[in-house]
A and B are shown apart, each in its own frame.
Chain A
Amino acid sequence: DIQMTQSPSSLSASVGDRVTITCQANHDINNYLNWYQQKPGRAPELLIYDASKLQTGVPLRFSGSGSGTHFTFTISSLQPEDFATYYCQHYDYLPYSFGPGTKVEI
């Protein structure tokens, strides 16, 4: 099974900051990598799919890159509504797995 790791596990940032989260897979997953945002008490929301494609309706300040085993998620200018936990998830084959999450805090 594929194991996903994320770093950092948490970070403190301010409005307007550029934020970068990394995700690594222990096997080559091509570009079969998604990024989700989850706010407390809410269901996750898909932000990025296929490693770099922006889901419809998601602001352009969110972006993703990478392929193979190393991936990056970036928020170009952090907004107040972006404080949340972010998860990567592979879908190369079953079982899917999520990274442990990165909590973005003020």
Chain B
Amino acid sequence: EVQLVESGGGLVQPGKSLRLSCATSGFRFHDHAMHWVRQAPGKGLEWVSGINWNGNTEGYADSVKGRFTISRDNDKRFLYLQMSSLGGDDTALYFCARDRTSWLGALDIWGHGTMVTVSS
């Protein structure tokens, strides 16, 4: 069974950092690009970041560029999102999602999400 399980969320103070992880199983991880998508409480979906199959190409939403870093470990089958200088606008449920392709495709498998709350 294909599974994505996010972890690492929690309550964090403004200006601090947090690292999210996404454990994957049930598919050839290195064949797929991966993405992070977030959803603030009661709001719509916002694409955050994506990384291609081998980690050589990545992209970010303007709202997180320069503060967030996406990475992957194909040997361990993990996706990561390092978040720094967090602010209230970063409060959201963060989803890990698999790309159908090795780069630039549809998001066909999603995790259940991990909640990040930025508050003092």
CB within 8 Å of B: which residues of A?
Answer: 1, 32, 34, 36, 38, 43-46, 49-50, 55, 85, 87, 89, 91-101
Contacts and interface: CB of A to CB of B under 8 A. Distances in A.
Interface string B1-36: 000000000000000000000000000000000010
A43 B95 contact: yes
Nearest to B107: A46
Contacts of B46: 98
Interface string B83-117: 00000000000010000100011111011110000
Q: Is the interface of B mostly helix, strand, loop or mixed?
A: strand
Contact of B45 (A32, A44, A46, A93): A44
Nearest to A94: B59
B91 to A, nearest CB: 17
Contacts of B60: 94-95
Q: Which of A1, A94, A96 is packed against the most chain B CB atoms within 10 Å?
A: A96
Chain B, interface size category, equals 20 to 34
Interface of B: 35, 37, 44-47, 50, 59-62, 95, 100, 104-108, 110-113
Given A87-B44, A95-B62, A98-B45, A34 B107 contact: yes
27 contacts: A34-B106, A34-B107, A38-B45, A43-B95, A43-B112, A44-B95, A46-B107, A49-B100, A49-B105, A49-B108, A50-B106, A85-B44, A87-B44, A89-B106, A92-B104, A93-B104, A94-B50, A94-B60, A94-B104, A95-B61, A95-B62, A96-B50, A98-B37, A98-B45, A98-B46, A98-B47, A101-B44
